[in-house]
Structure 1
Amino acid sequence: MMDHSNFLNMASPYAIYAISIVISTYPGPLFAKLTELYAGSHAFKKDLHLEILRCHEKYGPIVRLAPNRLVFNSVTALQDIYQSDRLSKAYTYGNSVRNNVDNVFTARDKDVHRSRRKMIAPPLSERAMKSFEPTIEDNITVYLKQILKASRTSQPVNMSERVKYLALDIVTRLSFGYPLDTQTKEENRFVSKALAFGLYRGNIWHHVYFLSRLWVYRVFDWIFFESREKYSRLLDKMIRSRVARGPNGERDFYSFISELGTDPDNVRKGELWWEAHFLVVAGSDTTATAVSATFFYLSRNPKCYEKLAREIRSTFESAHDIEAGPQLASCRYLRACINEALRMSPSVPGALWRSQDPNDNQPLIIDGHVIPKGTLVGVSAYAIHHNKEYFPDPFKFKPERWLEGQTPASKLMYDAFAAFSVGSRSCPGKSMAYLESSLVLAKTLWYFEFKVASGSLAEAGGGRVGGPPGRTRPQEFQLEDIFTARHDGPYLVFRSRDESRRDLEQV
């Protein structure tokens, strides 16, 4: 385990003050230049991604978001920050570390991260996904039958809720062979809220780091102790039950990472505990946002919906043919719709903060600017995805932009796409997210037609005219920035296709 003292020294008020003087020439809100509370207040309001975009539109491609933080909005900066071995995760990630045990998300030391990444990469590879597909299919079938049940009475379905439970059930089954059954039972649905609170709290500490050093987090822990402890007991039970069955009994994530340390007398202090927590969070939130957002945009863009439905129904002869493989990969418009939904509504909309490695004493240059050591730098996925230089008509859902062939403009667009971040610390679950999203969308479109619910539910998920700043566009799927994204809607009404309904009823 590395010595974190250098990171903590950089976070001291004296160091931040010194950095503040050096980067004082960069534009930004006056309050942000004086205190972390500016960004922290927007993290508290869950709209920091919107505020960062507003600041870029007002101040330009480099904005000073706090006394010691600069947020950029260019492809060059995205590459300079996230593809460089000279930068490490910021000291703010330390607020998520407990018992001095890092996981692949919190590890700041490059060697520790590399070993964690190497360990979890095999079960998250495309090859492994093929072996996991039966488990994924079983849970998608449960989801489809829930949709079928709702279609019989034209009951509106909240897709954020429905897909959230599906993603949770899949990731817990794939992680430790433990069925949460949140799609059909209410008992374990609290997990989603518990995870959301943990992410929300951590995101506030990321931006008002000094509060986490003042033990304020203990107040939060005390207030929400019951729900946090309930989740911890469930995770403890999941790990113990899987460890007891041994590493070779089933094909799941644990069969790949069983070498991680697990203290049978105190599971919560072992390495496996923290990797399990990461897998549950990362494996559910990314897929839930990708699928919910795609349903939202398809339901608001009839031509895109009809084009995708034609592609799915002409590519496959039956729902049983919809599986991982060349046929599914050939559905280019399906992938384009998912990419466009993630562009407009990324699963992690904010900035992933980085800083120069404390052992590196060479000048650090980001997008042509010399950055003083100790400065936190980042790029907001939401902001760069709405940068007109890379994505013309950034608030318009245009899947076709991903099918324009190899041109300088398309290369620049792909370079600016940061839904899974970029570089060695990009999301390791990318293949899993794409596979789940593709299967859910393709099978839904095979079995059903859908439309937006009527009445007040028709507006759920979108912005509203006259709404809060950044939330005034009815055709944009709204996100709450809690590090990952939380959302509600869309509410859809489904109608089963007569020729395929009987097949689903017999599954």
Structure 2
Amino acid sequence: MQFDLGHLWIYLGVLVGGGALYTFGLVVYRVFFHPLAKYPGPFLAKITDAYQLYHAWKGDRHLEFWRMHQKYGPVVRFGPNSLCFNSNKALKEIFGFRTNVRKAEFYNAFVHPTANTHNTRDKEVHARKRRVMSQAFSESAMKEMQRYILNNVRTFCEQIGALDGSTEESKGWTKPRKMSDWCNYLATDILGDLCFGKAFHMLESETNRFALGLVEAATTRHLLVSDP
């Protein structure tokens, strides 16, 4: 069979032209004719989820949301099929109990190996699990939790207040601490006490602190899985 280079260029031209035409049509639809077209937001965010994926990779997604709300108002379109609300009314209407909304496919990335109250999209499954968990948040249960929380808060204050590394040159000042990390240690130790009956002792020792690095490394997993 003879190879026809002329036909190959024609096929490639048709393929490239068709792809360009499809892309142009998709952009026009998402910007002007999409059901969410009336909502304001960055131009790139209207046409592709890569916009928010980029900021998630940079680690400033939360700051970008803040900037968008400052510029566009309480409702911002941050993806072709995504809106972000910044109001008390929207919070109740979206996340309130028995609201007529369903969680997005975004949450499917978290369902491994089984669904929980946070990631399940099935309202019946959520209601059943919620009834079981509600016992842990009764008034008596909350009062019982106080002693565990306060013990860890005291340890937190002791560790922060320790004169670690102070010298004459520093005039009594200790070495600076990254408070976001220390707050994570506190929260994790409290959760360990409440959920497993024993703290992870991250406030007092570096042994288990590596686990928080694993959690941080996994924060973009759901974006890579759920966003095309």
Same fold per superposition (TM over 0.5): yes
CA distance in 1, matches of 2:159, 2:66: 38
Q: In 2, Cα distance between the equivalents of 1:137 and 1:56?
A: 36
Amino acid at match of 1:23: L
Which whole-Å CA distance do the structure 1 matches of 2:186 and 2:76 have between them? 39
Determine the C-alpha separation between the residues in 2 that align with 1:148 and 1:49: 30
Distance 2:75 2:150 in 1: 45
> Partner of 2:218: helix, strand, or coil?
helix
SS at match of 2:163: helix
Q: Of the candidates 207, 215, 220, which is equivalent to residue 187 of structure 1?
A: 207
Equivalent residue, structure 2, for 1:196? 216
Q: In 2, distance between residues paired with 1:122 and 1:71?
A: 32
* Residues 27-55 of structure 1, C-alpha deviations (whole Å, 9 max, x = no match): 32221121111121112222223223333
Q: Judge conservation of contact 1:32–1:38 (CA < 8 Å) in 2.
A: yes
Shift of residue 157 of structure 1?
4.9
Q: Is the 8 A contact 1:90 1:108 kept in 2?
A: yes
Q: Which residue in 2 is equivalent to 1:156?
A: 175
Q: Is the 8 A contact 1:26 1:64 kept in 2?
A: yes
Q: Which of 50, 65, 84 is the equivalent residue of 2:78?
A: 65
**How big is the shift at 1:185?**
1.9
Q: Which has the larger radius of gyration?
A: 2
1: distance between equivalents of 2:176 and 2:71? 39
Change (3 A) 1:114 1:60: same
Q: 1:209 Cα shift?
A: 1.6
For residue 63 of structure 2, what is the amino acid of its counterpart? Answer: L
**3-state SS, counterpart of residue 199 of structure 1:** coil
Q: Do 2:189 and 2:202's aligned partners in 1 also have CA atoms closer than 8 Å? A: yes
Equivalent runs, 1:177-256 vs 2, <5 Å: 177-202=197-222, 204-205=223-224, 209-210=227-228
Q: Which amino acid letter does the alignment assign opposite residue 77 of structure 2?
A: R
Instruction: Specify which of 64, 69, 82 is matched with residue 51 of structure 1.
Output: 64
- The answer to whether the aligner puts 1:33 opposite 2:46 as a matched pair is yes
Q: Deviations over 1:216-251 (max 9, x none)?
A: xxxxxxxxxxxxxxxxxxxxxxxxxxxxxxxxxxxx
Q: What one-letter code is carried by the residue in structure 2 that aligns with 1:87?
A: V
Q: Which residue of 1 aligns with 2:188?
A: 168
Q: 1:392-411, aligned counterparts within 5 Å?
A: none
Matched ranges for 1:289-300 at <5 A: none
Q: Please name the residue that 1:129 is paired with.
A: 142
Q: Indicate which of 138, 150, 175 corresponds to 2:151.
A: 138
Distance 1:63 1:148 in 2: 42
Are 1:103 and 2:116 an aligned pair?
yes
Q: Distance in 2 between matches of 1:115 and 1:76?
A: 26
Which amino acid is 2:39 matched to? Y
Note the alpha carbon deviations across 1:105-136, whole angstroms, 9 max, x for none: 11111111122222222223442132233333
Distance 1:196 1:166 in 2: 16
The answer on 1:90 being equivalent to 2:104 is: yes
Identity %: 35
Structure 1 counterpart of 2:38, which letter? T
How far residue 78 of structure 1 moved from its aligned partner, in angstroms, is: 3.2
TM superposition shift of 1:92: 0.7
- Select the structure with the greater relative contact order (CA < 8 A; seq sep ≥ 6): 1
The DSSP-based 3-state class of the residue aligned with 1:63 is strand
Partner in structure 1 of residue 37 of structure 2: 24
Using the alignment, how far apart are the partners of 1:137 and 1:25 within structure 2? 49
Q: CA deviation at 1:103?
A: 0.9
- Tell me the secondary structure at the aligned position of residue 145 of structure 2: helix
Q: Is the 8 A contact 1:150 1:157 kept in 2?
A: no
Query: Does the C-alpha gap of structure 1 residues 74 and 141 become closer, same or farther in structure 2, counting only changes over 3 Å?
Result: closer
CA distance in 2, matches of 1:168, 1:157: 21
Over 3 Å counting, the alpha-carbon distance change for 1:103 and 1:37 in structure 2 is same
Give the TM-score normalised by structure 2: 0.70
Amino acid at match of 2:203: Q
- The answer to whether the 8 Å contact 1:27/1:59 transfers is yes
Letter in 1 for 2:175: P
Classify 1:90/1:156 alpha carbon distance in 2 versus 1 (closer, same or farther; 3 Å): same
Distance 1:120 1:147, change over 3 A: same
Deviation of the 1:102 alpha carbon:
0.2
Q: Report the residue type matching 2:188 in the other structure.
A: L
Greater strand content: 1
Tell me if structure 2 keeps the 8 A contact 1:92–1:205: no
